[in-house]
Structure 1
Amino acid sequence: MQPLPAPPYQPPPGMPAIIHLDDSLIVLDKPAGLLSVLGRGPAHADSLASRVQMEFADARIVHRLDMATSGLLIMARGLEMERRLSIAFQQRQVEKRYIAVVAGRPGPDEGEIALPLITDWPNRPRQKVDFEAGKPSLTHYTLLSHDAGRDRSRVGLRPHTGRSHQLRVHMMAIGHPILGDELYGDADSRRAAERLLLHATELTLPHPLTGALLHLLSEPPF
């Protein structure tokens, strides 16, 4: 299934909601449809990072969410905090949890998806499963509820690795694409939602200055 042509970039206006703010970091609630960082060309210059930097000049991006994904995103304040937070991500000290609505009902109700991923170069930005050249990728999923009438499920997702589009490709690969996914869904799952139903709902990490454990939450808007 080929992805649909990308629509014009029309991000939602305004400053993203600030969930946590101190002298070391900012945690924001990114809306769906807004790039984390600027994209290619002047038409894609508007992003979460550029909006935040207009108010907090020292803010620096340390990880990203797909444009279509909403939820919690961290920015460091200054070079040293960027370095510390980048190390925390590299050492997997940051635990991320997502909520998604997917087609069908995954079975069993809880499990792991270990499928290696690589960029599908002729079809960028798509990623694909590749057992020979792909990088190890691991996702844990938990069934939260199932709507039998519409044959869709709400699932909790916890990525143990941070590959591009990992959650989207993994759920598609086991036959349960995330609803509203224009890149990886089939025709029915694409039409089932007006946006990608994937939200970064929970972050747990050591504070880069104090080491105290931060636990941050954002309820999905779907």
Structure 2
Amino acid sequence: MTVKELRDELRSRGGKISGRKPDLIQRLIDLDEKGVVSSPQTSGRDNDEEWYVLEPVISDASHHANASANSTFDQLGSVHIELPVLTTLLFVNKPSGMSTLPTRQQLLQKIGDNSRNDDEFRLPSFPCLSDSVKDWLINHPDGIKRMERAKKDEDQWWNSLLQSMSCVNDRNIQKIWKKKKRQREKQAEKLSTFEPRPVHRLDIDTSGIVCIALTPYALRTAGMLFEQKSRESSENKRSKEKGNTQSVEKRYVALVEGDMKSKDNKNQEQFIISHSIGKIWVQDSPGSDASDDGHHEWACDILGNGRVAFCRPGDTDRQMPLKFVHGTLRDALTSCRVVDMGLKNTSKMDVTRIELTPHTGRGHQLRLHMASLGHPIVGDEMHGLFKQNKFPELNGGKLCLHASNLSIECWRWHDNKILRGRAIVSSQPQF
């Protein structure tokens, strides 16, 4: 577990959160042995905050929706385009306080590694979205139907694609047909042992939409779209300013500290943040020379020269000229739109509702970019001024960051034809 996760768990149990990582680990172990459990309100583990399925709205691409071609192949267009079939994707809403994938100690327990007796292996872990969804897909009647339809529709898609290609008298198409046929055989072999899994991740503290792949081909193609989104945005930043559409688009809703309109240099409703993000090494004990007495933290390059790493406002220790870990600094791009400025909470402090669109997928990107402007996300202990920006009346004191919109290109069946379109999913935050 990270230092942040350790402190979250200690706080939910009423334990002391200061000190080095080994101290935090020992405190958790002591509390666990005493039977001190987490408070449901702060841990996000109460029954009112379970994950649930989200149904997408479909938007067909105009040049496919209006097509009048007679064959499936003509409807498909270019056979080079690899997209998941709509029904092979499951969209769910993840609550705050749930990990997207298993934690390290959960993985060790799964493989039966009982030889380990270190402190970290004995720690309690967060509830896991992927395990819970997988159990639903395997054991619940509705989940079983989802899996059966996913396999059936994808099988039909492969049959239609290969049959249409086999009828085309073109040498290049025939080469692609042979390649696709081998690809299908490989995917069929993987299907028997495949376990549904998330295509992307959300931080434990972040709530919102997660896309789950139900087949190996869906995981491969959807994963490629997410990677392509981040890569293309990094290579061509201007495309975002022009509003070009990507294969995958994500939007988040957040509450940030302060009235953003009062910032003279950001007195606008929409702008772009482009600070690169990388990792730095932080010593747990000031002045210690031990190479293992510390941990990595995400930080952004606020000066654009790779010399000053920013972690959180007002923390002088974190704004010193710290070196980024070699090879970790990467371009990061976020669009920010102010939705509602000058809101008040019960503490009579200003907060602003914003909409964030990440065009790259860097670690803690949205948190760091907003904190670098002096407007940390409400409830963000890691990159905000925790005492000033955690308000219990807002989202129960938890992080006010929610993945509210996701759209992804896909194939879908309609009137016995295959159309290319977009699955659009929405989810409302609790703040």
Scaled by the length of structure 1, the TM-score of the pair is: 0.90
Counterpart position of 2:128: 47
Q: CA deviation at 1:55?
A: 1.8
Shift of 1:7: 1.8
3-state DSSP of counterpart to 1:126 = strand
Match of 2:426 in 1: 217
SS in 1 for 2:253: strand
Question: How much does 1:5 deviate?
Answer: 2.2
What secondary structure does 2:390 align onto? helix
Q: 1:143 is matched by which residue type in structure 2?
A: V
Does residue 252 of structure 2 align to residue 98 of structure 1?
A: yes
Is 1:160 equivalent to 2:359 in the alignment?
Answer: yes
Computing the radius of gyration over CA atoms, which structure comes out larger, 1 or 2?
2
Could you tell me the percent identity over the aligned residues?
Answer: 29
Give a deviation string over 1:185-206, Cα, whole Å, max 9, x none.
1020134641000000001111
- Following superposition of structure 1 onto structure 2, how do residues 16-95 of structure 1 map, counting pairs within 5 Å? 16-20=51-55, 23-42=87-106, 43-44=124-125, 46-57=127-138, 58-92=195-229, 93-95=247-249
The alignment status of 1:12 with 2:22, answered yes or no, reads no
TM-aligned CA distance change 1:98 to 1:196, over 3 Å: same
More helix by share: 2
Q: Which runs of 5+ in 2 are unaligned?
A: 11-37, 57-85, 107-123, 139-194, 230-246, 261-265, 283-293, 307-323, 413-418
- Residue 213 of structure 1 and its aligned partner are, at CA, apart by 0.7
Instruction: Give 1:207's aligned residue.
Output: 410
Shift in CA distance, 175/45, structure 1 to aligned 2, threshold 3 Å: closer
Whether contact under 8 Å (1:178, 1:197) holds in the other structure is yes
Shift of 1:151: 1.1
Tell me the equivalent position of 1:140. Answer: 335
Q: Give 5+ residue unaligned stretches, structure 1.
A: none
Q: Which of the two has greater strand per residue?
A: 1
| Post-superposition offset of 1:11 | 4.7
Q: For 1:63, give the aligned amino acid.
A: H
CA distance in structure 1 between the partners assigned to 2:126 and 2:340 by the alignment = 39
Deviation at 1:120, TM superposition (A): 2.8
Alpha-carbon distance change, 121 to 20 in structure 1, aligned in 2, over 3 angstroms: farther
Deviation at 1:27, TM superposition (A): 0.3
SS at match of 2:132: helix
Count of aligned residue pairs for this structure pair: 221
Taking structure 2 as the reference length, the TM-score comes to 0.48
Query: Contact conserved, 2:89 with 2:213, CA < 8 A, in 1?
Result: yes
Matched residues in 2 for 1:38 and 1:171: separation?
28
Offset of residue 125 of structure 1: 5.8
Which moved further from structure 2: 174-183 or 12-21? Answer: 12-21
